[in-house]
Structure 1
Amino acid sequence: MEKRVETKAIVTGYSSGIGKAICETLETNGYKVFKLESRLEDSVHLELEVKTLLKTHDIDLLVNCAGVGVFKPHEEISIHKIKELIDVNLTAPILLANLCLRSLKKTKGHIINIASVEATRHSKFSALYTATKSGLRDFGLALFEELRKADVKVTTINPDLTKTNFFDEFNFEPSENKEAHLLAEDIAKSVLKIIEFDGVVTDITIRPQRLEIKKK
Structure 2
Amino acid sequence: MQKAVVITGVLGGIGTGLAKTFNEAGYTVIGMDIKNTPSPYSHIFVQFDLNEYCNNAGYKAKMETYFDEIIPDLYVLINNAAVQILGGVEQIHVQDFNHTLNVNLTGPLLLSQYFLSRLEKSKGSIINIASIHHQLTKKRFISYATSKSALVGLTKAMSVDLQGRVRVNAISPAAIDTQMLRDGFDNDEAKVKQLNEIHPSQRIGKPAEVSKLALLLAEDALGFINGANIQIDGGISNVLKDLD
The alignment's TM-score, normalised by the length of structure 2, stands at 0.77
| Corresponding residue number in structure 2 for 1:42 | 52
* Larger mean Cα displacement after TM superposition, 91-100 or 54-63: 54-63
1:143 positional shift: 0.3
Verify: 1:109 aligned to 2:124, yes or no: yes
1:139 positional shift: 0.6
1:128 positional shift: 1.5
Give the SS at the match of 2:202.
helix
Please give the per-residue CA displacement for 1:79-124, whole angstroms capped at 9, x wherever unaligned. Answer: 4422321111111111101111111111111100000011123543
Verify: 1:155 aligned to 2:169, yes or no: yes
Verify: 1:125 aligned to 2:151, yes or no: no
1:207 positional shift: 0.7
Aligned counterparts of 1:142 and 1:101: Cα–Cα separation in 2: 15
| Corresponding residue number in structure 2 for 1:88 | 103
TM alignment of 1:183-194, pairs within 5 A: 183-194=206-217
Give the SS at the match of 2:163.
helix
- Structure 1 residues 171 and 73: CA distance shift in structure 2, 3 A: farther
Give the SS at the match of 2:109.
helix
Please give the per-residue CA displacement for 1:16-58, whole angstroms capped at 9, x wherever unaligned. Answer: 2101100111011111111222111111434532343235511
| Corresponding residue number in structure 2 for 1:200 | 225
Contact 1:160 1:182 in 2 (8 A): yes
Specify the code of the residue in structure 2 equivalent to 1:154.
V
Aligned counterparts of 1:107 and 1:48: Cα–Cα separation in 2: 25
Give the SS at the match of 1:101.
helix
How many percent identity over aligned positions? Answer: 26
Please give the per-residue CA displacement for 1:52-86, whole angstroms capped at 9, x wherever unaligned. Answer: 32355111110000111134323223344223211
Verify: 1:69 aligned to 2:79, yes or no: no
Specify the code of the residue in structure 1 equivalent to 2:132.
V
RMSD of aligned alpha carbons:
2.1
Aligned length: 206
Match of 2:12 among 12, 16, 33: 16
Runs of 4+ in 1 over 4 A off after TM superposition: 171-174
